């Protein structure tokens, strides 16, 4: 999945392929890389170590927080998944989507908010049940 920038030269770096493709499939909105490209706000080449560091920090935080905020009883894993998805998605949306929309130049704030909101919802619909299953007790 490569998108050529408007100068036609260098390719725009691939966006986190696994999560964007998931958004494409679940929401049926087509090629999200092209939607993001139209926003005209991303650098041509992403800094991969920074993205990986962000994912590790977020994964560590959510895994640490889950058993402190939600029941880890085996019978409660579904409720924990739903509540953690709602909680963590709101938290993530508030510190990733809103500030970026407020600070950065882009062609459409509404399109950015729609794309990132959909991505965040899909991300936590997938991740929260996995976190809940990983933390459920054995009894």
pTM of the model: 0.70
What's the pLDDT score for residue 27? 52
- Structural domain that includes position 63: 3-135
**111 CA to centre of own chain:** 16
Whether pLDDT at 6 is above 50: no
Mean pLDDT rounded to a whole number for the chain: 80
Whether pLDDT at 5 is above 70: no
Q: How many domains does the chain have?
A: 1
Environment class of 4 (CB within 10 Å of its CB; exposed 0-12, middle 13-18, buried 19+): exposed
- Give the other-Cβ count within 10 Å of 104's Cβ: 12
Reported confidence tier of residue 61, pLDDT bands at 50, 70, 90? very high
């Amino acid at each position: 999945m490569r998108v050529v920038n408007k100068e036609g030269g260098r390719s725009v770096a691939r966006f986190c392929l696994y999560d964007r493709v998931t958004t494409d499939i679940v929401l049926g909105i087509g090629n999200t890389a092209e939607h993001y490209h139209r926003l005209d706000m991303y650098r041509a080449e992403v800094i991969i170590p920074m993205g990986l560091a962000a994912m590790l920090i977020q994964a560590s935080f959510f895994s640490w927080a889950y058993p402190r905020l939600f029941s880890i009883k085996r019978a409660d894993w579904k409720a924990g998944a739903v509540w953690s998805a709602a909680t963590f998605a709101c938290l993530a949306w508030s510190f990733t989507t809103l500030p970026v929309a407020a600070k950065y130049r882009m062609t459409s704030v509404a399109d950015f908010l729609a794309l990132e909101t959909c991505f965040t919802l899909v991300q936590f619909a997938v991740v929260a049940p996995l976190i809940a299953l990983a933390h459920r007790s054995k009894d």
